[in-house]
Every structure is written in structure tokens, then in C-alpha cells.
Structure 1
């Protein structure tokens, strides 16, 4: 089982993205599912996140390709 981390800036809410060891992300509202990513997709996700700022809420997995 993976250990998932949530940013300390997220507070107690369940509307955040959590990151686990390796390359995978999940939604804190649906912790039973996760999205495994390859290295290129993970790098694209990080670039999009940094470029867009912390308020991105409507991106889809297709945006990462």
C-alpha cells in the first residue's frame, strides 16, 4: 500500500491532490482510486501546475499529454 502525502497548505478539507511515492496522484475525495503516471506525464503535470498556479481545478488528464 502506498503512503500518500497532502500539502500542509490544504488544511482539513477533502478537495486536494495527494502525491504518493513513485509516480501517482489521487483525489482526496476518492482515495480508493489513483492515476499512475509515466515520467513524461509527471513532468508535464508539474510544469502545468507551476505555470498555472495553485488554483487549477478544471484540468483533465488530456491536458498533461
Structure 2
């Protein structure tokens, strides 16, 4: 099981569902941090998996609902 590092958990773009999705897709925490840093630098906040289609995609990849 992948345990998120403090850098992940304390990142301004941290979202548990987004992290779970990216890990399930094979991303490392280091790769996730690079992505989130780039998104934050351009003013984008965390990815929230709230729409019906997003929740379906999340569930298909991670089993989370």
C-alpha cells in the first residue's frame, strides 16, 4: 500500500481522491508533486473529483466511490 509522504499530504493541491487516482495509474509521489507544483504555479487548485462523471472515472480506476 502506498503511504503518502508529508510533502504530498501538506501540498496545497492535495486531494485524497486525486492522489489515489494518480497512484492507481502508476504515478510516483515524486511525479505527483511535480504535477501539483506545476498546476499550483499556474494558479490551479486541487483537482476535486465531484462531478458524476469524475466519480465514475475515479471508481473505475481506484474502487473509490
More strand by share: 1
Q: TM-score, normalised by structure 2?
A: 0.33
Structure (1 or 2) with the greater helix fraction: 2
RCO comparison, higher one (Cα < 8 Å, 6+): 2
